[in-house]
């Protein structure tokens, strides 16, 4: 037991600081990706309700692509494809290539995947709101923008929260994929520790506990958000 605790110590002889730094990258990536995915997903959901057939078709194609591709393949396409594209453009304009940051590539790739699933959840929430809510808001003189902000969005959050909370938990786990593009997240640092110490069961077990702890803390936060969003609603 003492040897195992020593492996988790902070400093030159332990891996505690590396695992903590990896967990911080994992949390930071998930937190940075969430607003990107939800924002894109919201506008894609609006597009699916558009009276314009071309916009609806474009939104459907978008979700079909990014729900159909494996997350890892999407990550490779964004990281290596964008790397090639930006480098070629930078070579023409600046005279030298530009390297894509792995964190940014992971955020974009995971954001695209998250948005495709979030759009379906948000669309279902939109459809659960009675049309009379819109008509009542317009009848008292609210503009479309104020109707969306004051009347629709508060209900949308409450209705979409169960599905979005599941997507957030999946996102926390999907961040482990970025270890393949050399981003020093929790899984990559755990793998480095395993390769150095030859203690796979111990370190992967510690990583499991950290991911579970993050999930528990997320569930508590989601519960509090749900309580806030449902205030005044009869259960």
Give the pLDDT score at 166. Answer: 92
Q: Where are the alpha helices (DSSP H) in 129-199?
A: 131-139, 144-146, 153-174, 186-197
pLDDT over 80 (residue 39): yes
pTM: 0.87
Query: 108 or 138: whose pLDDT is higher?
Result: 108
Query: Which position has the token pair 């959050």?
Result: 157
Q: What percentage of the chain has pLDDT greater than the value 90?
A: 42
Domains of the chain: residue spans and CATH: 2-229 (1.10.3720.10)
Give CA 128 to chain center in angstroms: 24
Average pLDDT over residues 180-207: 88
Overall size of the chain counted in residues: 235
Whether 34 contacts 168, CB under 8 Å: yes
Which range (20-24, 52-56, 156-160) has the least confidence?
156-160
d(CA 95, CA 86): 12
Q: What is the pLDDT of residues 41-50, one digit of tens each?
A: 999 999 998 8
> What tokens appear for 81 in the block?
């494809």
Q: What is the mean pLDDT of the chain?
A: 86
Quick one: pLDDT at residue 96? 66
Position 104 pLDDT exceeds 80: yes
Tell me, rounded to whole angstroms, the distance of Cα 179 from its chain centroid: 16
- At 13-32, the pLDDT tens digits run 777 888 999 999 999 999 99
Mean pLDDT, range 169-179, rounded to an integer: 90
DSSP string, 32-64: HHHHHHHHHHHHHHHHHT-S-HHHHHHHHHHHH
Arithmetic mean of pLDDT, 157-165: 89
Secondary structure of residue 138 in the 3-state scheme: helix
pLDDT tens for 61-74 read 999 999 999 999 99
């Amino acid at each position: 037991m003492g040897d195992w605790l020593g492996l988790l110590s902070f400093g030159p002889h332990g891996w505690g600081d590396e695992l903590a730094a990896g967990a911080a990258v994992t949390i930071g990536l998930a937190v940075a990706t969430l607003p990107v995915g939800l924002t894109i997903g919201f506008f894609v959901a609006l597009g699916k309700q558009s009276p314009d057939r071309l916009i609806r078709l474009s939104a459907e194609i978008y979700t079909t692509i990014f729900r159909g591709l494996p997350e890892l393949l999407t990550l490779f396409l964004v990281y290596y494809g964008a790397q090639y594209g930006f480098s070629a453009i930078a070579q023409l304009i600046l005279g030298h290539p530009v390297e894509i940051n792995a964190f940014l590539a992971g955020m974009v790739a995971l954001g695209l995947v998250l948005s495709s699933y979030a759009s379906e959840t948000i669309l279902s929430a939109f459809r659960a709101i009675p049309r009379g809510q819109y008509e009542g808001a317009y009848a008292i003189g609210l503009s479309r923008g104020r109707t969306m902000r004051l009347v629709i969005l508060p209900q949308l959050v409450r209705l979409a929260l169960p599905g979005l909370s599941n997507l957030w938990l999946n996102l926390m786990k999907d961040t482990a994929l970025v270890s393949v593009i050399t981003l020093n997240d929790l899984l990559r640092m755990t793998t480095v520790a395993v390769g150095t110490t030859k203690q796979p069961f111990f370190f992967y077990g510690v990583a499991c506990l950290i991911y579970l702890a993050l999930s528990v803390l997320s569930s508590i936060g989601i519960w509090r958000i749900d309580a806030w969003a449902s205030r005044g609603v009869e259960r």
